[in-house]
Amino acid sequence: MADTSADIVILGGGSGGYACALRAAELGLSVVLIEKDKLGGTCLHRGCIPTKALLHAAEIADTAREGDAFGVKTSLEGIDMSGVNAYRDGVVSRLYKGLQGMIKAKKITVVEGEGTFVGPDSVEVDGTRYTGANVVLATGSHARSLPGLDLGGRVITSDDALRLDYVPDRVVVLGGGVIGVEFASVWRSFGAEVTIVEALPRLVPAEDEYLSKQLERAFRKRGIAFKTGVRFSGVTQDDSGVSVSLESGEQLDADLLLVAVGRGPNTSGVGYEEAGVAMERGFVQTDDLQRTNLPNVYAVGDIVPGLQLAHRGFQQGILVAEQIAGLEPTPIDETGIPRVTYCEPEVASVGLTEAAAKEKYGEVQTLVYDLGGNGKSQILKTSGAVKLVKAGAKGESGPVVGVHLVGARVGELIGEAQLIYNWEAHAEDVAPLIHAHPTQNEALGEAHLALAGKPLHAHA
């Protein structure tokens, strides 16, 4: 019989829940971790990891197709989806086994089953009550739809898209945010005709407007169609395909409609409201240390309002474990969380957009450094840019408060970018740092040199 009491009982074994469990165990606390599905949650099994594996397969397809541009005689014979899926599942399986091993090594008690928070300090699973001196709610999120838009058949979510064993000929993607543009990118690389429909005025609307424009330009070159500022009005389907209606009166025919309109919190049916947890629009309300309104009850990850990112949940889980252990961790600055969209080209950012910076600081200075001036980007044959946003007018000293990147592989540059933002660096602080040549990372150095008033190359 497993222990039914612990220092911490965690409901949900996704990024936030398992990170909290691992850190708490490291700090000598006893942990019960409750998960109804597989440890690792959406990120490992239905999100970050499998989708990025697909995106890498898509990059291989593009590389094979474009070999002539590099003097290499290659051609793309086709896409074997069973092979792609086997590669993807292999990556997930290895990471899953590694996670299970870590959890076991830390002697964390794992309870398999559907848990209900029964408050004030307990979670019930199949009639057994698990009581914690502290309880962490980490039940994650699900792919949501629009009111009146029924999922099923040829109307699919990202979860269903990952299970496809064929490449559709034509797809309509409803939603031009992160999930929508990533799947559009994959399917286009695999040879499908893709149209994105986004109700807001631009693709990746949460990003700086400059990045949206650059991505839209790149998607046009790739032959990915998109319609922005237009709303979905309905869909019909039959055995041969779907017919998607827009409020503009236009009709789009395709094999599939991917609904990528965001993710909703998994907070209904798990006892939160009944136990008195403060909620708003389905999300659990917390303070900056992830504490709910109930004593010794915390919430982390996608059920908390804000960016729905695995690494955010992960860090929140660590913060909660350290808070419970009495370490007094620093609250997380949400604006300092790096954001990456893994389409081709990639989009990455940290800090404030130009518009948000103007709202906060009044005057700002921006600088755009074109990747055309970067040797490694020329080698990779990618176009794109680094955009910096500095607080204060030109000639005034001020920190860099936004770093915005677009181009192949720029997600790998976000590590230095988030240090620049989170350490409140000025351009003058970054300019003397030596960036290896030739790397794309150099573009960050060049951009800061230019912002500091001493551009080395005239491509800013």
Question: What are the residue numbers of the active site?
Answer: 437
- H or E, element range at 268: none
Is 302 annotated among the ligand-binding residues? Answer: yes
Tokens of 263: 């993710």
Q: Give the C-alpha separation, 170 to 49, whole Å.
A: 25
- Rounded distance between C-alpha atoms, residue 448 and residue 431, angstroms: 5
Q: What are phi and psi of 106, to 5 degrees?
A: -85, 0
Please name which of 355, 358, 309 lies closest in space to residue 336, comparing C-alpha atoms: 309
According to the 3-state scheme, what is the secondary structure of 396-450? CCCEEEEEEEEECCHHHHHHHHHHHHHCCCEHHHHCCCCCCCCCCHHHHHHHHHH
Residue 289: partners with Cβ closer than 8 Å, 6 or more residues away: 319, 320, 323, 329, 331
Identify whether the C-beta of residue 41 lies closer than 8 Å to the C-beta of residue 13.
yes
407 is in an annotated binding site: no
Whether the Cβ atoms of residue 231 and residue 156 lie closer than 8 Å to each other: no
Q: Is 139 annotated as a binding residue?
A: yes
Q: Is 178 part of any known ligand binding site?
A: yes
CA distance 296 to 305: 19
Backbone angles phi, psi at 298, to 5 degrees: -120, 160
CA distance 168 to 122: 47
- 326 in a labelled binding site: no
Q: Is 98 annotated as a binding residue?
A: no
Q: Find out whether 179 is annotated in a ligand binding site.
A: yes
Annotated binding residue 397: no
Euclidean distance between CA atoms 270 and 331, whole angstroms = 27
CB 172 within 8 A of CB 244: yes
Tokens of 236: 């019909």
The three-point CA angle 17-38-103 to 5° equals 55
Return the closest-CA partner of residue 298 out of 308, 312, 310, 288.
Answer: 288
- What are the distances in angstroms from CA 19 to CA 208, 311, 357? 30, 10, 32
Is 400 among the annotated ligand-binding positions? no
**140 labelled binding-site residue:** yes
Is 227 within any annotated ligand binding site? no
Is 181 annotated to bind ligand?
Answer: yes
Residues in binding site: 52, 115, 139-141, 175-182, 198, 262, 302
- Enumerate the known binding-site residues for FAD: 52, 115, 139-141, 302
Q: Which residues participate in the annotated binding site for NAD(+)? A: 175-182, 198, 262
